[in-house]
């Protein structure tokens, strides 16, 4: 009877050691997953902020004026915002004749820049 109990104690001790190692391995795996999830959340947050900066830049570029008078050069500036982000845009343009004009602009927000160049033909 004592020998049978000793055998069960030995098997249980081995099972406990095996389970302890498995628990430790699972704990390490969970810590690695947690670190990756934290990294992904930081990237999502940065992407969200970048999207808001881009929307603010787009709003600022939209506010730049097209040159109206033939033979005239214009310089224009505008601000734009989206959510908690703001942007400043500056641009230039020239109307060549009644049918043709061109303009270019650049917008800045938190060190990022976006730009546009356009030509207008009227018929």
Q: Please give the chain's pLDDT, 123 residues, in tens.
A: 788 888 899 999 999 999 999 999 999 999 999 999 999 999 999 999 999 999 999 999 999 999 999 999 999 999 999 999 999 999 999 999 999 999 999 999 999 999 999 999 999
Q: State how many domains the chain has.
A: 1
Give the pLDDT confidence score for residue 73 in this predicted structure: 97
Give the pLDDT confidence score for residue 121 in this predicted structure: 96
- Label the pairing between strands 100-109 and 112-121: antiparallel
* Residue 120 burial (C-beta neighbours within 10 Å; 0-12, 13-18, 19+): middle
Q: What are phi and psi of 36, to 5 degrees?
A: -65, -40
DSSP state of 56: H
Q: What is the pTM of this model?
A: 0.75
Mention every residue, 6+ apart, whose C-beta is less than 8 A from residue 113: 57, 106, 107
Give the pLDDT confidence score for residue 2 in this predicted structure: 82
Give the pLDDT confidence score for residue 112 in this predicted structure: 92
Give the pLDDT confidence score for residue 12 in this predicted structure: 96
Give the pLDDT confidence score for residue 4 in this predicted structure: 86
d(CA 116, CA 89): 10
Give the pLDDT confidence score for residue 123 in this predicted structure: 92
d(CA 107, CA 117): 12
Q: Which two tokens stand for residue 6?
A: 């000793």
- Return the beta strands (E) in the chain as ranges: 73-82, 85-95, 100-109, 112-121
Mention every residue, 6+ apart, whose C-beta is less than 8 A from residue 4: none
Supply the range of the domain harboring residue 62: 2-121
Whichever domain contains 117, its CATH number is 3.30.1300.30
């Amino acid at each position: 009877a004592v020998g049978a109990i000793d055998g069960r104690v030995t098997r249980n001790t081995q099972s406990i050691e095996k389970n302890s190692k498995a628990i430790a391995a699972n704990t390490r795996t969970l810590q690695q997953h947690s670190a990756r999830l934290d990294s992904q959340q930081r990237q999502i947050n940065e992407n969200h902020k970048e999207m808001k900066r881009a929307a603010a830049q787009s709003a600022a570029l939209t506010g730049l004026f097209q040159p109206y008078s033939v033979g005239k050069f214009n310089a224009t500036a505008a601000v734009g915002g989206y959510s908690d982000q703001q942007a400043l845009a500056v641009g230039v343009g020239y109307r060549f004749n009644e049918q043709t004009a061109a303009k270019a602009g650049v917008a800045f927000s938190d060190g990022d820049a976006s730009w546009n160049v356009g030509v207008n033909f009227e018929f």
